[in-house]
Amino acid sequence: MDLDFTTAELHRYSRHILLEEVGAIGQAKLRAARVLVVGAGGLGSPLSLYLAAAGVGTIGLIDHDVLELSNLQRQVAHTTARIGRNKAESAAETLAALNPGTRVEVHARRMDVAAALDLIPRYDIVCDGTDNFATRFLLGDACHLLQRPLVSAAVLRFEGQLSVFAGYDGMHPCHRCLHPEPPPPGLVPTCSEAGVLGAVTGVMGTLQAAEVLKLIMGIGDPLKGRLLLWDALDARFRTVRLKRDPGCALCGDQPAITDLAAHLEPAAPVCAI
């Protein structure tokens, strides 16, 4: 591992390097890491800001959406002047200004099956900050099949949830052990329908960043097999233990899901992993 740091790097990351659990080796691991952030929105903003500030070497940002005025109440990686721009591009500009030492790879495209198969293998860790169940289930399945840890956060109204899914290791649960199927369309509202307190996305995206940094450096106790829940109104955290379901369709003993075919648009060709 490359442990050579410039004087400017030693200065920039001095408060990290001071930490016994991080040190120069942890900082070098961060610099060598490649993290994919899916969604440059409410979660992706604080998440990617803290990853860039921490000195993660390469951050991939994927988002097909353009910035809207209603995003700015929580999506703090953007600015008012950038309304109408692609969100991955906008966030990349902010990250570059914060830390020019981080390489940001912009993917201004939708996270679909083709993007999942193309991008996920190129990164060490994948972060879910998306706003819909279809993409969440695609990402969960793809990360499991491609054997990448998925650091998954979700928010709604005053509530946030966070977990790390790595069921491909045969020990920990996957996302489908918690929720086997997406809810029927329309049953669970989205943030655009039910609202979300901006600071809740900030808290959860920042917790998500902390889990990513821990995974990269191999320190602490990752949130694998645990679901962290936070309610802003109660100002209370809860942790629920998740167990591997032997009957799980994705990671169980006889998995029914072995490729991403179910996530393809109807009539599109099947492409197996």
Partner 1 sequence: MSERIAITVNGEDREVAPGDTVAALLGAIGLDTRKVAVERNEEIVPRSTYATVALAQGDRLEIVHFIGGG
Q: Which two tokens stand for residue 25?
A: 């080796």
**Smallest distance, Å, CB 187 to partner 1?**
5
Q: Are 31 and 121 in contact (CB under 8 A)?
A: no
- In this chain, which of 22, 43, 62, 213 binds partner 1, going by CB under 8 A? 43
- In this chain, which of 52, 154, 223, 260 binds partner 1, going by CB under 8 A? 154
**Smallest distance, Å, CB 208 to partner 1?**
10
The DSSP secondary-structure symbol of 116 reads H
Which residue in 108, 13, 24 sits closest to 52, CA to CA? 13
Pairing mode, if any, of strands 150-156 and 34-38? unpaired
Q: Are 129 and 207 in contact (CB under 8 A)?
A: no
**Smallest distance, Å, CB 177 to partner 1?**
7
Pairing mode, if any, of strands 236-241 and 226-231? antiparallel
**Smallest distance, Å, CB 247 to partner 1?**
7
- In this chain, which of 153, 174, 223, 257 binds partner 1, going by CB under 8 A? 153
The DSSP secondary-structure symbol of 70 reads G
Nearer of residues 27 and 201 to partner 1, judged by Cβ: 201
Q: Which two tokens stand for residue 105?
A: 């790879």
- In this chain, which of 131, 145, 162, 222 binds partner 1, going by CB under 8 A? 131
By the rule CB under 8 A, 187 interacts with partner 1: yes
- In this chain, which of 26, 46, 60, 129 binds partner 1, going by CB under 8 A? 129
The DSSP secondary-structure symbol of 105 reads E
Q: Are 154 and 143 in contact (CB under 8 A)?
A: no
Contacts with partner 1, residue ranges (CB under 8 A): 39, 41-44, 128-133, 136, 153-156, 159, 161, 177-180, 182-184, 187-188, 190-191, 194, 196, 201, 227, 229, 238, 240-243, 245, 247
